[in-house]
Amino acid sequence: GGSGGSGLKDTYTVASDTSFVPFEFKENGEYVGFDIDLINAIADEVGFEIKLETTNFDGIIPGLQTGSFDIALAGITITDERKKTVDFSDPYYDAGLRIGVSVDNKDINSIEDLKGKTVATRLGSTSADYIKKNIEGAEASQFEQLDQVYLAVENGSADAVLYDSPNVAYYIQTKGEDSLKMVGELYQAEQYGIAFAKGQDELVSKVNEALATLKENGKYDEIYEKWFGE
């Protein structure tokens, strides 16, 4: 359906990450996940088509800035720093940072225990900043791809992973049950937002309206339940 005289486009290029379970990941050759379902529901609600493009996380915000992408969903934390270069929707998901260590690790039980350690995370993520700013003497070992992050802990080249709580929890539940465990608490609460190339105010407000509608009519809950329900 057309955009009925508004300034909206018929199709928007939407960037997402190649792998960030359970928000976006490839299954049987197709991208699936919470972010994918959410943007499809929003696009239906507002009335636009999406062209999905996936790239490593650290390429997403630069791609919005250069105009390669219009919109991005990738579990992107809303920060003041990022607001200088992109716009954000209202928050759509509450998360935070958590620690994962090898199942037989007895020494690391909290953030204090990460001092001077090698901590694996994803390139360009809020956890990489957190490690550099808040954990004395720790080395942030940053990887381009998700599997490399967990593999680093599994093969002992990193002492721990510090990454987004839903990702650490989901990875351990689905793949890492025998090798990894989560320890400590939620460090640094964060909220995810849909990011936009600047200069699309009408689109941002339409997306916010759609998000509110989906939260009211139960569709958001359905999607949440699908990916995070027991």
Give the span between the Cα atoms of 3 and 43, in whole angstroms.
12
Q: Is the dihedral of CA 12, 13, 16, 22 positive or negative?
A: positive
166 prior amide bond cis, ω within 30: no
Whether 127 contacts 164, CB under 8 Å:
yes
Strand partners, 16: 54
CB of 60 to ligand ARG, least distance (A): 8
Tokens of 51: 């062209």
Q: Report the interface residues with ligand ARG, using CB under 6 A.
A: 17, 20, 57, 74-77, 122, 125-126, 164, 190
CB of 215 to ligand ARG, least distance (A): 21
Nearest to ligand ARG of 3, 191 (CB atom):
191
CB of 11 to ligand ARG, least distance (A): 22
Nearest to ligand ARG of 41, 76 (CB atom):
76
Q: Is the dihedral of CA 212, 213, 215, 221 positive or negative?
A: negative
Nearest to ligand ARG of 40, 213 (CB atom):
40
Give Cα 221 to chain centroid, integer Å.
18
The amino acid that residue 215 corresponds to is: K
Three-state secondary-structure class, residue 117: coil
CB of 169 to ligand ARG, least distance (A): 14
Nearest to ligand ARG of 59, 206 (CB atom):
59
Which residue from 26, 31, 57, 53 is spatially nearest to 144, judged by alpha carbons? 57
CB of 2 to ligand ARG, least distance (A): 32
Nearest to ligand ARG of 76, 152 (CB atom):
76
Nearest to ligand ARG of 97, 206 (CB atom):
97
CB of 136 to ligand ARG, least distance (A): 22
